[in-house]
Chain A
Amino acid sequence: MGNSSSTNKITPRDKAILDLKVQRDQLEKYQKRISVITNREKEIAKECLRRGDERSAKLALRRKKYQESLLEKTDAQLAQLQILTSDVEFALVQKDVLFGIQQGTQVLKEIHREMGGIENVEKLLGESEEARAYQEEISELLANKMSNQDEDEVEDELEALEAEVSGVKLPEAPGNRIDLTEEQKAARAKERARRRAQERAAGQAAEPMAA
């Protein structure tokens, strides 16, 4: 048929399943036919009774009974066919599962082979352990090389850092500039001048002591 169906082939197995299912359908159709017949016989029996023909009514009912017994028999056969089709389909699923397991195992094996077996892994782990030990040795050597002075400095810095971390946090300086009025500027200049004079006085007082 179309070129697109080249990958999707109908296998002989599919045909066998189809045959099974067609059989099943035929049984179903047969059952439908029988139920139509039994209904008709019932109608006939009713009709006969209405006419007072009891014998014919009985005959019709007998025919109906027989058809019903056939229906029961086909029920069993239908069930059998249905079980068989389900079994076949389930077997197909099982086959797929098996195939999947096979594929998975193969891939797993391949990956293991690429890893080069247990000995290789052990060897690699040993090597990595060795390298780590070597690195540790180097670190130790380097640590011993440090002089006492260096260590002191390190400790000082640590203390300073600790103080910074745990110490009081200073309030932040205001970001914006404060505009001062003329009056305030004048007041500040005066204040500054006063402080400088004080400082100078203190400096002169201290000098004679140094001298």
Chain B
Amino acid sequence: MTMATDSSTPNSDFQFPPLYNFPPFFTLQPVLATRKSQLQSWSSLIQSYCRHHRLWTLTLVDALETPLFNNTKLSRRLSLRDARAIIDWMTTPEGDSRAEWIPTTGKKPSRSDEYSEAGKCWIYWKRPEEWASALEEWVDRTGQKGTVLTLYEITEGDATRREEFWGMDSTLLAKSLAVCVKRGKAQVFGAEGSEGVKFF
């Protein structure tokens, strides 16, 4: 589920931007202005790549081998250090908070260096609050206000196969629903592992 590399094959091929075939793109530039625009381009590339392949998280060491960071045609690839710098930038408000490191240990590390080599992160091509709105919109559109829905049927059911949130990581779903709950639009209840949600 985390690295849905096999489920991406039925999709049509991802169209990489022209910048992807430009060798210097794979080395982070030292000049600040250049670097910033480069970070922005990488951020949007990562987001659209993950959106296309419906990836919710990236595990950096694995991702470095995928076409996203490894351009076999140019035989250029992004280094782990640069990839981490890009994700780091994406987690900042300046990077539009489009990523979030997933802590491996219980404590919340402040710097990315504290992560193991296999840094894992959320890629928010939609942030939890954006997902919350999408879910609310879906419930509204399908007239399911007041009905009890299981979390499983939201992400895995046949009825939602055409929705963007189909196959969503359960943790991310829980995060998004928490936003709905905070907005007073939904209530999550039930035992651990078999939770349900009721939208109002």
Q: Mark A13-44, 1 if CB is under 8 A from B, else 0.
A: 01101100110110011000000000000000
A-B contacts, 18 of them at CB < 8 A, read A1-B187, A2-B181, A4-B184, A5-B181, A5-B184, A14-B148, A14-B189, A14-B196, A15-B189, A17-B148, A17-B196, A18-B196, A21-B196, A22-B190, A22-B196, A24-B150, A25-B150, A89-B147
Given contacts A2-B184, A5-B181, A5-B184, contact A18 B152 (CB under 8 A): no
A119 to chain B, nearest CB (A): 45
User: Which residues from 141 to 168 on chain B have a C-beta closer than 8 Å to any C-beta of chain A?
Assistant: 147-150, 152-153, 156
Q: Does A147 contact B (CB under 8 A)?
A: no
A22 touches B194 (CB 8 A): yes
| Chain A residue at minimum C-beta to C-beta distance from B191 | A22
Q: Determine the distance from Cα of A174 to Cα of B84 in the docked complex, in whole angstroms.
A: 92
| Contact residues in B for A24 (Cβ distance below 8 Å) | 150
Q: Which of A1, A10, A25 contacts B198 (CB 8 A)?
A: A10
Given contacts A14-B189, A14-B198, contact A21 B153 (CB under 8 A): yes
| Contact residues in B for A25 (Cβ distance below 8 Å) | 150, 152-153, 156, 194
Q: Does B108 contact A (CB under 8 A)?
A: no
Q: Determine the distance from Cα of A25 to Cα of B196 in the docked complex, in whole angstroms.
A: 11
Q: Determine the distance from Cα of A18 to Cα of B149 in the docked complex, in whole angstroms.
A: 7
Q: Does B107 contact A (CB under 8 A)?
A: no
> Main secondary structure on chain B at its contact with chain A?
mixed
Q: Determine the distance from Cα of A89 to Cα of B148 in the docked complex, in whole angstroms.
A: 9
Besides A4-B183, A21-B149, A22-B194, 15 more A-B contacts (Cβ < 8 Å) are A8-B200, A10-B189, A14-B189, A15-B189, A17-B196, A18-B148, A18-B150, A21-B148, A21-B153, A22-B152, A22-B190, A25-B150, A25-B153, A25-B156, A28-B152
Given contacts A21-B196, A25-B152, A25-B153, contact A15 B190 (CB under 8 A): yes
Please give the number of chain A residues whose Cβ is less than 8 angstroms from any Cβ of chain B in the complex.
Answer: 17
Q: Determine the distance from Cα of A196 to Cα of B182 in the docked complex, in whole angstroms.
A: 103
| Contact residues in A for B183 (Cβ distance below 8 Å) | 4
Q: Determine the distance from Cα of A22 to Cα of B151 in the docked complex, in whole angstroms.
A: 9
> Main secondary structure on chain A at its contact with chain B?
helix
A21 touches B150 (CB 8 A): yes
A10 touches B150 (CB 8 A): no
| Chain A residue at minimum C-beta to C-beta distance from B158 | A28
Measured CB to CB, the residues of A under 8 A from B are 1-2, 4-5, 8, 10, 14-15, 17-18, 21-22, 24-25, 28-29, 89
| Chain A residue at minimum C-beta to C-beta distance from B184 | A4
A100 to chain B, nearest CB (A): 15
| Contact residues in A for B189 (Cβ distance below 8 Å) | 10, 14-15, 18
A2 touches B182 (CB 8 A): yes
Q: Determine the distance from Cα of A25 to Cα of B150 in the docked complex, in whole angstroms.
A: 8
Given contacts A21-B153, A22-B194, A25-B153, contact A5 B148 (CB under 8 A): no
| Contact residues in B for A1 (Cβ distance below 8 Å) | 181, 187
Q: Which of B150, B181, B184, B200 contacts A22 (CB 8 A)?
A: B150
| Contact residues in A for B153 (Cβ distance below 8 Å) | 21, 25
Q: Determine the distance from Cα of A28 to Cα of B150 in the docked complex, in whole angstroms.
A: 13
Q: Which of A2, A18, A29 contacts B190 (CB 8 A)?
A: A18
B182 to chain A, nearest CB (A): 7
Q: Determine the distance from Cα of A8 to Cα of B198 in the docked complex, in whole angstroms.
A: 9
Q: Determine the distance from Cα of A8 to Cα of B200 in the docked complex, in whole angstroms.
A: 7
Q: Determine the distance from Cα of A2 to Cα of B198 in the docked complex, in whole angstroms.
A: 15
A93 to chain B, nearest CB (A): 10
B144 to chain A, nearest CB (A): 10
| Contact residues in A for B190 (Cβ distance below 8 Å) | 15, 18, 22
Q: Determine the distance from Cα of A25 to Cα of B189 in the docked complex, in whole angstroms.
A: 16
